[in-house]
Amino acid sequence: MIGEVRLRKGVIKVSQESQDSIFTLSRDDVIACAREMGIPDEQITDDVLEQVKKGVEWGLQCWVDVVKEAINLALKG
């Protein structure tokens, strides 16, 4: 089962199946983003998905800071 948190843009899916997994970004999530951008599904090839994966990994290099801030906010709330 996947829980969804709606934001201004898109959906973040938080895994509820496993306590070991906090956040999952699937191929379907990438395709949904592409659709919002007006890009046909067929253009999201395995090569594109691999490049997206690398880009997301690069963008989340500071994930530790994000998690620490989320912990602080959760404890304050």
Domain locations along the chain: 2-76
What pLDDT, on the 0 to 100 scale, is given for residue 41? 96
pLDDT (tens digit per residue) in 6-59 = 443 454 555 556 677 787 888 999 999 999 999 999 999 999 999 999 999 998
Q: What is the phi/psi pair of residue 7, to 5°?
A: -115, -175
DSSP assigned state of 42:
G
What pLDDT, on the 0 to 100 scale, is given for residue 18? 65
What pLDDT, on the 0 to 100 scale, is given for residue 55? 94
**Tokens, residue 31:** 């395709």
Nearest to 32 by CA among 6, 57, 67: 6
What pLDDT, on the 0 to 100 scale, is given for residue 8? 37
What pLDDT, on the 0 to 100 scale, is given for residue 17? 60
pTM flag (> 0.75): no
